[in-house]
Amino acid sequence: MEKIVVRGGAPLSGSVTVSGMKNAALPILYACVLVGSKCTIENVPDVRDVRMSLDILAEMGAEINRIADETYEIDCTNFNPGISCSEKVKKLRASYYLMGAELGRFGKAKVAFPGGCNFGTRPIDQHIKGFETLGATVTTDCEFITMTTESGTVADDVYFDTITVGGTINIILAAVMAKGNTIIENAAREPHIVDLANFLNSCGARISGAGTDVIKIRGVKSLHGSTYAIIPDMIEAGTYMAAAAATGGCVRIENVIPKHLEAITGKLEDVNVIVEELDDAVIVTGKGLITSTRIKTRPYPGFPTDMHPQMSALLTIAHGTSIITEGVYETRFRYTEELRKMGADIEVKGHTAVISGVDKLHGAKVQAVDLRAGVAMVIAGLVAEGETKIYDIHLIERGYDDIVGKLRALGANIEKVVEEE
C-alpha cells in the first residue's frame, strides 16, 4: 500500500508547471467517439482517471497511440458501443460521457452507471431529461442506462433545472450530429465546457455560446479528425496557489489562464496573500499571516467547489474565524474529520463549515477521503509540525500528475512510500 509522507515547515519556492485540465481532457477523450477518424489530443494530463478512460475506449475498439508524454492519437473508426466494460465504467464519474457520445454517434447507448467521489447522491436526472428531449427512449435498471432512438437524436430546446457540468457536456455530445438546431438553456459555463466546444468545432461541429448559459448547437452530418491541445488545469493551479500561501512561500505557477483563476485569486488576496498575474503564469507570495474570510462555492465563474477542501486547509491556520458554505453538492465535508486529527478547529453545520484558526497543526495519520480532500491533507501536512502520513493516495492520483515530484521541486519535504500491508 502506498502513502504520502510529508514533514511540514518548509516555505515553498520556485516554479511549477500546471498540467492539462483533467475535467477538460476527460470529456474531450470521450468526444472522440463521435469522430469516425483519427484525432490527436495534446497536453493530456497523466492521471488515473485519464488512464482509466483510455483503457475503456481501447476496450471498446478505439485505436489509441501515445505519441508523446502528453499526446495521444485516438481513432474511434471501429468503436463498438455494444462492448460494455462496466467494471471500469463504475470506477469513475467521467465514463458517463459515453452516454452522450454513443447516443450522438450511434443513436443508441447502453452504459453502466458511473462512480466518482462520494458527495451525496449525485443524480443524473438532468442528463436523462436532456436525452429524452432529444428524442431518446431511456430505460434504467440498477446497473445500466439504456437509450434508443428511431433514427438518431432530433434537435430541440433543453432547459436544465439545475446547473450541471456533466449534463451540459452530455447534451452537447448527444446534439452535435442531431437533426436540426439544439439550444441548451441554464447551461454550465465552466472553461472545460468551452474547451470541449472548441475541440468539437475544430472537428466540424457548429457550437456557439459555450461559456455562457445559452449554448446553440447546429446539427452536422459528420465530424472529421483534428489536432487539439487541452487547456491548463485551473484546479491544479489553484491547489499550488493555496499551498504556496499556506507555507508562506513564493511560487511561480506556469501554464495557467489567469482569467480562469479569478475567483481563487480574489479569495487568496482577501486573506492577505499576494497574487501577481502574468500572461500565462501567476506568482503567489504568502506573507506568513493568513486572515479569515467567508466563501460560498458556486458554479463557474463562482468560487469552484473543487477548491473547497484546499481553502479549508489554508484557513485552519488563519487569524480569526472563517466560513465555507458548500453551494454545489449535498455534502463535501468528510475531509474535516481528517483535518481535525491534525488539530484543526472545524465545526460543520449543515452545508457550512465554521473554521476557527489555530496557531499550528500537528502531523498525524490521515486519509484521502476523496480527490480534493486528499490534496487538502497534503497542504495541511506542508504546514503542520512533524510528520503527516496520508493514506489512500490513489484518490489523489486520480487528478494530480506527479504531485509529489512537483512539490519536492518546490522544496517540500515530501515522499511517496510503499508501506508493507
Q: Interface with ligand EPZ by CB under 6 A: which residues?
A: 23, 26, 93-94, 117, 122-127, 162, 164-167, 188, 305-306, 328-329, 371-372, 399
Q: Which residue is nearest to ligand EPZ (CB)?
A: 166
Minimum gap (Å) between residue 396 Cβ and ligand EPZ: 11
Query: Which C-beta is closer to ligand EPZ: that of 93 or that of 416?
Result: 93
Minimum gap (Å) between residue 161 Cβ and ligand EPZ: 8
Query: Which C-beta is closer to ligand EPZ: that of 93 or that of 341?
Result: 93
Query: Which C-beta is closer to ligand EPZ: that of 27 or that of 363?
Result: 27
Query: Which C-beta is closer to ligand EPZ: that of 117 or that of 207?
Result: 117
- As given in the structure block, the three cell numbers for residue 104 are 450522438
Greatest alpha-carbon span in the chain: 65
Query: Which C-beta is closer to ligand EPZ: that of 249 or that of 399?
Result: 399
Count other C-beta atoms under 10 Å from residue 63's C-beta: 14
Q: Are 311 and 324 in contact (CB under 8 A)?
A: yes
Minimum gap (Å) between residue 159 Cβ and ligand EPZ: 13
Minimum gap (Å) between residue 78 Cβ and ligand EPZ: 26
**Strand arrangement, sheet containing 345-349:** 294-296, 321-325, 352-356, 345-349
Rounded CA-CA distance 78/231 in Å is: 28
Query: Which C-beta is closer to ligand EPZ: that of 117 or that of 355?
Result: 117
Among the listed residues 39, 76, 117, 250, the single catalytic one is 117
Query: Which C-beta is closer to ligand EPZ: that of 70 or that of 190?
Result: 190
Rounded CA-CA distance 307/323 in Å is: 14
Minimum gap (Å) between residue 123 Cβ and ligand EPZ: 4
- As given in the structure block, the three cell numbers for residue 395 are 484518490
Residue 273's nearest CA partner among 241, 305, 301, 295 is: 241
SS (H, E, C) the chain: CEEEEEECCCCCEEEEECCECHHHHHHHHHHHHHCCCEEEEECCCCCHHHHHHHHHHHHCCCEEEEEECCEEEEECCCCCCCCCCHHHHCCCCHHHHHHHHHHHHHCEEEEECCCCCCCCCCCCHHHHHHHHHCCCEEEECCCEEEEECCCCCECCEEECCCCCHHHHHHHHHHHCCCECEEEEECCCCCHHHHHHHHHHHHCCCEEECECECEEEEECCCCCCCCEEECCECHHHHHHHHHHHHHHCCEEEEECCCHHHHHHHHHHHHHCCEEEEECCCEEEEEECCCCECCEEEECCCCCECHHHHHHHHHHHCCCECEEEEECCCCCCCCCHHHHHHCCCCEEEEECCEEEEECCCCCECCEEECCCHHHHHHHHHHHHHCECEEEEECCCCHHHCCCCHHHHHHHCCCEEEEEECCC
Residue 203 annotated as catalytic: no
Query: Which C-beta is closer to ligand EPZ: that of 14 or that of 159?
Result: 159
**So which residues are the catalytic ones?**
117
